[in-house]
Amino acid sequence: MKSLCTNSGGFVVDCLAERIETLVLDASDLHGHQEMKQILRDTAEELRQLARANSDRTAPRARITSPDGQRSTRPLVAVTPSRRSSAHRQAIAILEEAETKLLRSSAQSAARASQYQQVANALGSNKVLLRS
């Protein structure tokens, strides 16, 4: 997520949504983790809706590419400059809620605890992108 979304400017909220969507698709063959996948799906959808609710109607959608060659799987929506600060705060809250849900879910199974905690930490590490 960081590699693609770090320099995405006004696209960061939708970029995070797109990366989480991609993560869910990559995990589609991972059995026994339905709750984690649902939390991630819900998180991606909330971030996507947030980006759209605050979209910059004057900015074209764009596919972005990272320096290491990653590319967004769909065109991204930019958040209007006047709403970015508010949208970023809301996105941080969405990520924090997802972290909490994942950590609560991990308590139900010792075998899943480490995996869920890693995913929660990965989500949490992206809050830095929104704070900068």
pLDDT of 9 = 87
pLDDT of 78 = 97
d(CA 12, CA 3): 11
Q: What is the pLDDT of residues 82-121, one digit of tens each?
A: 999 999 999 999 999 999 998 888 666 676 777 778 888 8
Phi, psi values for residue 57, rounded to 5°: -65, -15
pLDDT of 47 = 98
Place of tokens 């990653």: 70
Instruction: Please answer whether residues 78 and 62 qualify as being in contact, where contact means their C-beta atoms are separated by less than 8 angstroms.
Output: yes
Q: What is the pLDDT of residues 12-62, one digit of tens each?
A: 999 999 999 998 888 777 676 788 889 999 999 999 999 999 999 999 999
Structure tokens, 83:
């709403």
